[in-house]
A and B are shown apart, each in its own frame.
Chain A
Amino acid sequence: MRRLRRFYQGFFLGLFVVAFMLTAQGLLKGYPVTLFLDSSALNAVGTLLSARNIAYTMGIGLLILALTPFLGRFFCGWICPLGTLFHLASTWLRPRKVSERIRQNLCSPAQVCKYLILIVLLLAAAFGFMQVGLFDPIALLTRTCVALASPGMRAGWMMIAIFTVLLLLNAWHPRFWCRYICPLGALLGTASKLIPGGVVRDLKKCTDCGLCNRDCIGACSPNQSTRMAECFVCWNCIEDCPEEALSWQWMPTEEQLDREIGVSRRAFFGTTVGGAATMAALHTQAMEGYPARIRPPGSLAEPHFLDRCLKCGECMKACPTGVLRPALAEAGISGLWTPVMDMERGYCEYNCVLCAQVCPSGAIERLTIAAKTGVESDEPVKVGNAFFDRSRCLPWSFGRNCVVCEEVCPVSPKAIYTKTVSVDVKGKVVELHQPYVDPDLCIGCGLCQHECPVNDLAAVRVTAAGESRAPGGGFFLR
């Protein structure tokens, strides 16, 4: 059983890595690269609560949730790639002495924390403050991989630091994250309360040696009555018992299993009220004004976008120009680490919809290139609008010709046009081509800003004003 489990864990970790590698221009060929994000029940339930519907691919998560009351937390023990990584770390970092290992794997009351985190997250999601992605293990791992794959990415150090801390915590208690923090584990644990079978201890054979706890992954106390909400169905205890006192039994009596999850009524109400109040306070902060952030093409209108975005970073991984990066404060508190465009780093490639193709939650709508560029509808997706800063622009302020912006503008007809003026520059008459933006044609791709020779603060800059997804379609009176 141990060997079989390791095989599955290795297989799924490998699959995760392959799917991650494939999330790139030239390699994405319709493969389900977001398979693991889709199979997280937490993402599915969270999105369902906040957006009231989910992408159909996320049904995999619901399917796994539906299987959990019959099979237990098999996802945690056998599939989850983050769990597997932490499992490896735990194995490498574990103490030599068996007694010490047994002590680390005793069931702790602190394991209730993850249920409280789950309550707060789901409650917040239900009221439109979607932060599930911050704590979802797959989103967390994906995000960390994106940060590792793009060195120097803004906020990448935070993601790597968080991951490193979580990795090292495995030295203190094996699979620390899984036992104490993981809200997906909590969700699946709650579901496996109902499991019709479990690890049952034969009191006549048991000598209370404690060896069943030596390799217990979930710290689910097989030495007493097994707490099935914590059990990872790894069967290590059954194999480790020298007296063969432990066995898997279907339909055991109520006393033989522990069906609690350990959340007292007081803790439940306290968390609900306190968490709701905190989240509400944070949420009001987020809703003020019109935040200056440019979203990827195909993004839903901002409130709906925030209802769905898991902050997993898949779009940033797929983007061929690297224009997408995680938001810090510019998208409000609820928008932390959601994707925004930074035209100094890249630009939105005209014939490209890779970010929309990989978004697992539908925060960025599946978009065709035809729909994005508007070749049929004449209504291209507009992520923002370019604005000239004439005080920095060479033909406007310095008596020199330039208009790289017009040259690279990818739309046809070009959204940047020039008017020619004759200007006296130091006693010499010069013909200057001064650029203008046509807001009806500009799609906000930012290539003009990216290519502008005025470095550090370009003379033409894109902001989200005028984005087509905004209610009313921008800042003009139509």
Chain B
Amino acid sequence: MTENELQRRMFMKRMGAAAGLAAGTAALGTFFHNRNLVPSGEVAKAVRSYAVPGTESMLAVAEGSDPALAVRAALQELGGIERFVKAGDRVLIKPNCAFDRPAHFGATSSPAVTGEVVRQCVAAGAQVRVIDNPINNPEGCFVKSGLMDAVGSAGGEVWLPSASLFGQVKVGTLRIPEWEALYRPLDWADKLIGIPTVKSHNLCGVSLTMKNWYGLLGGPRNRLHQAIHEVITDLAQFIRPTLVVLDGSRLLVDNGPTGGSPSDVRPGDVVAIGTDQVALDSFGARLLDYAPEDIAYLGMAAKLGLGTMDEAKLRLFKKVRAVS
């Protein structure tokens, strides 16, 4: 091997290395070329409809001082829980548990009604979980409202919200195209049952079925108040529940939605169960001495065809007295 050959080999080697390096750099450059500098957020996921086909536009009202009995009576008018919940279903229940308040203050859904709904679903062979994303500390809300005990003894399970349960979901309306919500529980569930309680509300008059879905949201939801009626209508479009149980066993007539004094509460002795959110909320508004027409979001929702304010227009409307 001559001196010359050695140099040539070295030269080739070095050229090879340099070319490899250049190619690598170019490949990396191509790979990262024209990417967004800011990582794109997670892709918003769709939330399914939980409604059972053929059960649209129904409302059953049961009056009586025993809330559990009223729940059973109203369900019976609709054809029983079995019509909505099948054995093996995973049922997510969303009561109103927004505040750290004892049950008798009327700021949260009553343990009696919530417990009975859980019991009915469990009896139908379903697995039941109960969730809410409250304003106050979640554990405090569920314990002090009595819902923790009521759900537990009825055979359900309270699912306390934590960061990992949230995800970006498609709401799909003009004002909120997407928002952070309790995606994992919503994705887990086959059926969704809302249990709002009947409350007055400082800003939008009444807080009932549609406003109750607010507790499925996370993120900066304190911004939503700036167009509260529009947003509540958006929520009614976004969430299509299996069933809604409007808990009128007692009514928060004053100082809503928090209450805070027993004098803000009036006995209601009524439970309304149905699938038409507008009809349910119109019924609830009347309980609180409001004309449904005076609640702006009810008008908006009716206009969008989400339901009717007129009970006579419902496909099925029943009113019974629940007595043992």
Residues of A bordering B, CB below 8 Å: 25-26, 320-321, 349-352, 375, 394, 400-404, 406-414, 418, 433, 447, 451-453, 455
Q: Is the CB of B258 within 8 A of A407?
A: yes
Cβ of B135 to closest chain A Cβ, rounded Å: 6
Identify the closest chain B residue to A411 (Cβ).
Answer: B260
Q: Is the CB of A351 within 8 A of B223?
A: no
> Beta-carbon contacts of B62-106 to A below 8 Å, as 1s and 0s?
000000000000000000000000000000000000011110000
Interface of B, helix, strand, loop or mixed by DSSP:
loop
Q: Is the CB of A410 within 8 A of B228?
A: no
CA distance A403 to B226 in the complex (A): 8
Chain A contacts of B140 at CB under 8 A?
Answer: 25, 320, 349, 351-352
The 6 closest A-B pairs by CB, nearest first: A412-B260, A412-B261, A453-B222, A320-B137, A412-B255, A404-B222
Q: Is the CB of B255 within 8 A of A414?
A: yes
Cβ of B3 to closest chain A Cβ, rounded Å: 61
Identify the closest chain A residue to B142 (Cβ).
Answer: A26
Cβ of B278 to closest chain A Cβ, rounded Å: 23
Contact of B100 among A351, A409, A413, A453 (CB under 8 A): A351
CA distance A402 to B223 in the complex (A): 8
| B225, CB-defined interface residue at 8 Å | yes
Cβ of A34 to closest chain B Cβ, rounded Å: 22
CA distance A413 to B202 in the complex (A): 11
CA distance A401 to B225 in the complex (A): 7
Identify the closest chain A residue to B99 (Cβ).
Answer: A410
Q: Is the CB of A407 within 8 A of B139?
A: no
Cβ of B207 to closest chain A Cβ, rounded Å: 9
Chain A contacts of B100 at CB under 8 A?
Answer: 349-352
> Beta-carbon contacts of B217-239 to A below 8 Å, as 1s and 0s?
00010110111100000000000
Q: Is the CB of A410 within 8 A of B137?
A: no
Chain B contacts of A447 at CB under 8 A?
Answer: 135
The contact sample of 15 A-B pairs, CB cut-off 8 A, is: A25-B137, A25-B139, A349-B137, A350-B100, A351-B100, A351-B144, A401-B227, A404-B222, A407-B203, A409-B258, A410-B99, A413-B255, A414-B258, A447-B135, A453-B220
Identify the closest chain B residue to A414 (Cβ).
Answer: B255
| B136, CB-defined interface residue at 8 Å | yes
CA distance A408 to B137 in the complex (A): 13
Chain B contacts of A375 at CB under 8 A?
Answer: 261
Given A401-B226, A407-B258, 8 more A-B residue pairs with CB atoms under 8 Å apart are A25-B140, A350-B100, A351-B100, A352-B100, A412-B260, A414-B258, A453-B220, A455-B220
Number of A-B residue pairs, CB cutoff 8 Å, is 80
Q: Is the CB of A351 within 8 A of B257?
A: no
CA distance A23 to B226 in the complex (A): 39
Cβ of A162 to closest chain B Cβ, rounded Å: 30
Chain A contacts of B222 at CB under 8 A?
Answer: 404, 451-453
Chain A contacts of B201 at CB under 8 A?
Answer: 407
Chain B contacts of A402 at CB under 8 A?
Answer: 225-226
Contact of A403 among B101, B220, B225, B255 (CB under 8 A): B225
CA distance A53 to B202 in the complex (A): 48
Q: Is the CB of B139 within 8 A of A412?
A: no
- Known contacts A25-B140, A26-B139, A451-B135; A351 and B202 CB within 8 A of each other: no
Contact of B258 among A26, A410, A452, A453 (CB under 8 A): A410
In the complex, which residues 123-139 of chain B have their Cβ closer than 8 Å to any Cβ of chain A? 135-137, 139
- Known contacts A320-B139, A400-B226, A452-B222; A406 and B260 CB within 8 A of each other: no
Chain B contacts of A401 at CB under 8 A?
Answer: 203, 225-228
Chain A contacts of B248 at CB under 8 A?
Answer: none
| B146, CB-defined interface residue at 8 Å | no
Chain A contacts of B220 at CB under 8 A?
Answer: 453, 455
CA distance A193 to B72 in the complex (A): 77
CA distance A26 to B141 in the complex (A): 11
Identify the closest chain A residue to B261 (Cβ).
Answer: A412
Q: Is the CB of A407 within 8 A of B202?
A: yes
CA distance A412 to B255 in the complex (A): 6
CA distance A418 to B201 in the complex (A): 13
| B178, CB-defined interface residue at 8 Å | no
